[in-house]
Chains A and B, each alone.
Chain A
């Protein structure tokens, strides 16, 4: 009887070595890809977190009736367009009585955001009783001041090259001493539309625009995609034609999104004359783009329903339609919804096709419906990244962060949905 050793053999060693090698290569691959992801998130978070706060200056505003509403009409329209600048000038003057030079006074005013007077107008229009009273109000500071307070400016640079001169820096330091300048939570970022002034800009307009676009996209693409998938998978006889259709659906899924943008431009805008730059058209273009994704996902989930269920229903005398809609579709629904949600998440991040149909305009108003002009989150990011003002840097990152949060939330919902609704058999 030959002697065999079960523990030491050259082959065993080699096998173990190759296994260990492979294991480590896999770990390193995961580490590198996760590393990139973590790095990206960290950079964006560090850069964008600043946009959550906004520097404000506390001013004692005297709502002088003579200046805002000399006719005492209290007409909201009049109140909205009245000139509130003098109120701010006066309040700043009170804080810095030593500043008398006209040019200095103007520079003093420039510490405040140029949108500050609109803030006052909004307040007064909302509550006309303010007129005639004196209030302590936190007024939004200019972007330069904001960046200075956040330590994002380099003060060692020669004065000539700085946006804030020594005088202004001194004023700010004085305000800090008084405790009249502070970083506050930046509500405007979440409640306002776009603006030329970084400190006045917000992403609400873009978020609503994205929401409406996705709504249109969902309403159009979900029923179309699911019905197509059901027909192809359950009803259509396999033939040359269905094969051609299948191949082309897969092709469509791989078409670059900008091509869909061009298609939308020529059909929805050119032929059908739908209103340009609107979520309606944006949603339709996104629907074209997500349709193949949804069809493919829906077909896969229909295919994953075991054939025994079809046989069971048909064997009982259920018709084809009954079998499909009573049994197959409900069982495939979680998969279909997951696929759709993932498709929608892709659509949410899509920029190129929206550029083609004109959702790239500078739009201040928050859209009220699907036919109002609007932008979307990724386009807003694109626009801000393109802006020369330094204050938009952190806002760009913050907007990216918001977009990523939405994407993660959607993908997470998809995963949870699948886990929850999954049927076992």
Chain B
């Protein structure tokens, strides 16, 4: 799966309808008895940055984690509805979660490099998925991933130092490099800049801009400015509902729903 999908990634998947790579239909998520997501449906286009915005606790992170089934590891979390990745139902019992997560990478809110060397951090994914044919090939993947994450120049001479010794922004880019190294099609980002200063944030935003040629990015963000700056599509969540979804410009300039208007203008949040 991992090997053949590499080729698939290079060209746009012909099966995709209207370039929709991820779709959700009537999705409900429950934590025990509490419902966190109410009947959400929308579609995410390929090679775009889609932002999920909304106040804290609105369920946007929960929803993001449905796409790579990270909610599976939370006890008592139940997802119903239909979520498809390139047309395949990802909650089909026959689906291999491991290869799903290899296709849909994730970057977390808090940079979480393994307490290993920078090289090992990036090499881990390709190694477990058998992507590298040789040691040299592995090193090549690591270097190119670090380059694409814009980190290589800063760490070129200390690839074997611990990844946890980097600064916060560098750590987050290391995590992006680690996700890229597996060669996914989609990268989910869960508030990747929330603990970074504006300079590190700007670097990562530039990085995302350049990454969208190759990857589909879904980003959860607290910052409406960030969503406005980088995304092409925006979904506004409130209290577990998808209030509005559309082109970013429309959402910010011309919101149709009152809840969106209030949030955008800062009256609620």
Contacts and interface: CB of A to CB of B under 8 A. Distances in A.
The answer to whether A and B belong to the same complex is yes
Contacts of A326: 124, 128
A134 B48 CA distance: 101
Given A314-B70, A314-B73, A316-B182, A424 B105 contact: no
B98 interface: yes
A331 B115 CA distance: 9
Contacts of B99: 317
Interface in A4-44: none
A424 B110 contact: no
Interface in A325-351: 326-327, 331
A311 B164 contact: no
B234 interface: no
B101 A317 contact: yes
A322 B128 contact: yes
Residue among B70, B101, B113, B164 facing the most chain A CB atoms (10 A cut-off) = B101
Nearest to B171: A425
Contact of B102 (A238, A312, A317): A317
B39 to A, nearest CB: 26
A308 interface: yes
A237 B75 CA distance: 8
Nearest to A308: B112
Interface string B202-225: 000000000000000000000000
B128 A312 contact: no
Interface of A is mostly: helix
B73 A317 contact: no
Contacts, number: 67
A317 B115 contact: no
Contact of A423 (B115, B128, B129, B182): B115
B105 A316 contact: yes
Contacts of A424: 115, 164
A238 B70 CA distance: 18
B125 interface: yes
Given A312-B113, A423-B115, 11 more contacts: A308-B112, A309-B114, A315-B68, A315-B105, A315-B106, A315-B108, A317-B101, A317-B128, A317-B182, A326-B124, A425-B164
Residue among A311, A316, A331, A424 facing the most chain B CB atoms (10 A cut-off) = A316
Nearest to B181: A316
Interface string B160-200: 00001000000000010011001000000000000000000
Contacts of A183: none
Interface in A36-61: none
A166 interface: no
- Name the interface size band of chain B: 20 to 34
Contacts of B106: 311, 315
B99 to A, nearest CB: 7
A60 B164 CA distance: 72
A316 B179 contact: yes
Residue among B68, B110, B115, B178 facing the most chain A CB atoms (10 A cut-off) = B115
A320 to B, nearest CB: 9
B112 A311 contact: yes
A214 to B, nearest CB: 31
Interface of A: 237-238, 306, 308-319, 322, 326-327, 331, 423-425
Nearest to B102: A317
14 contacts: A306-B112, A308-B112, A309-B114, A311-B108, A314-B70, A314-B101, A315-B70, A316-B105, A316-B125, A316-B179, A318-B125, A326-B128, A331-B115, A425-B164
Interface in B96-131: 98-102, 105-106, 108, 110, 112-115, 124-125, 128-129
Contacts of A313: 114, 124
B122 to A, nearest CB: 10
A308 B108 contact: yes
B124 A316 contact: yes
Nearest to B188: A315
A120 B180 CA distance: 78
Contact of A316 (B73, B110, B178): B178
Given A316-B178, A316-B182, A310 B124 contact: no
Given A316-B124, A424-B164, A327 B101 contact: no
The 5 closest A-B pairs by CB, nearest first: A317-B102, A308-B112, A315-B106, A317-B101, A423-B115
A357 to B, nearest CB: 42
Interface string B54-86: 000000000000001010010100000000000
A423 B117 CA distance: 12
Contacts of A237: 75
B125 A317 contact: yes
A311 B70 contact: yes
Contacts of A423: 115, 164
A311 B164 CA distance: 16
Contacts of B98: 317-319
Nearest to B103: A317
A375 B100 CA distance: 59
Contacts of B125: 316-318
Contacts of B129: 317
A308 B105 CA distance: 15
B101 A315 contact: yes
Contacts of B105: 315-316
A331 B175 CA distance: 19
